Structure formats: C-alpha cells, structure tokens
A = this chain, B = another copy of it.
Amino acid sequence: MARSGRRPGNQDTRESILAAARTGFAEKGYDKASIRAIASDAGVDPALVHHYFGTKEKLFLAVMNAPINPAELVPQALAGPREQAGERLVRMALGVWDSPAGTAALAVFRSALSNEWTARLLRDFVVTQVLRRAVHEMAFDPAEADLRAALVATQIAGTIMARYVLKIEPLASADIDVLAAALGPNVQRFLTDPMPEVFKRD
C-alpha cells in the first residue's frame, strides 16, 4: 500500500486496520482470520487492534458497517420460553430493520447478495457463529441443529427481502404484530418441532 509521508494519525491507523481486516476476513473467512495476522498486515501491534476495536467480533462488525450485533441480539431473542422463540426472533429481526438502524442493516443485506465475500462473511458469522450456536444451545439433537439454523435463516432472510427489498404488499406495510403471528409459528417449527420426515429418524 502506498503510504503518505506524514505520520499516521489515529484515523489512518484505524483505516489501515480496517483495510487489513477486510482483506483478511475475505481471504480466510471469519473463523480463520486472526487479529494477529490482521495487525501484521496493517503494520501495527495486535494490542492496537484490540484498543481500537475490542474483539474480533467487533472488528468484523466494524468492517461490515453493521449497525447491530447479531451475536448479542439473536441469543437474547432465543432465550426465554421455548414455545415463543420463533415469534421473538421474528419480532427482533423486524424490529432492527424497522428501526433507524434499518437503513444500514439493509445495506449490509443487499451487499451480501451482490458481493461474494460479503455473502461468505455473513454466512460464516451470522449463520455459523451466531444462529447455529444459539440453536445448539436450545438443546436439540445436535445432529439437527445445523439444518434447523439454516431453515430459520431462509424464513428470516426471505422476510427481509420481501418486506424491505422487494416491498411486496400487503406484507411491506403490515404491522409487526400481524407478521409475528403469521411468521412466528413457521420459524418455531424450524426451531423446535419434531420433523421426523426431514431427519429420517428411525
């Protein structure tokens, strides 16, 4: 990278770290990228990365310009009475995209659809790191948890797409209560209902 002659200020250091992180996450995926390697690529001490961004998770969210932290919100939504977990997850997702943070959240979502590496990172982070772990912690058959998490992702992603990207009516203007009642039980089935025909238990 061409460097200007002047001594880098805080903003430059922050930007160098972000650029190295963007490349590191894109090349190695969320799981394999390390703070140490990112710091080395940015030409700074790893301690400085922690100083500016905290954890790897927070560095990733900064790279993605994510306005919210799914690693906090998803487990919160899934905690509590098991039978309403699906509805709570729908309310949480719609709450984010309906909020002022929704514009930035939608930008990340759109980017994942046109950009291979954003897609990979969102998949590695949101589904693998966050959703899958949360579903595992709900104490299902571990052999089922990964597919259940992916199925939940289909309904949540499809809802964001239909409501905020395609703006399909009457869904786009529907009240969150209506959508929680419409979508909640479907997400709940993916999360907790026995699906022997899917998992071919004997």
Contacts and interface: CB of A to CB of B under 8 A. Distances in A.
Interface in A132-173: 146-147, 150-151, 153-159, 161-163, 165-171
A13 interface: no
A114 B179 CA distance: 25
Contacts of A197: 181
Interface stretch (A31-39, A46-54, A185-193): A185-193
10 contacts: A110-B113, A112-B166, A147-B174, A150-B168, A151-B183, A154-B162, A157-B158, A157-B161, A158-B159, A182-B190
Interface of A: 110, 112-114, 119, 122-123, 127, 146-147, 150-151, 153-159, 161-163, 165-171, 174, 178, 181-183, 185-186, 189-190, 195, 197-198
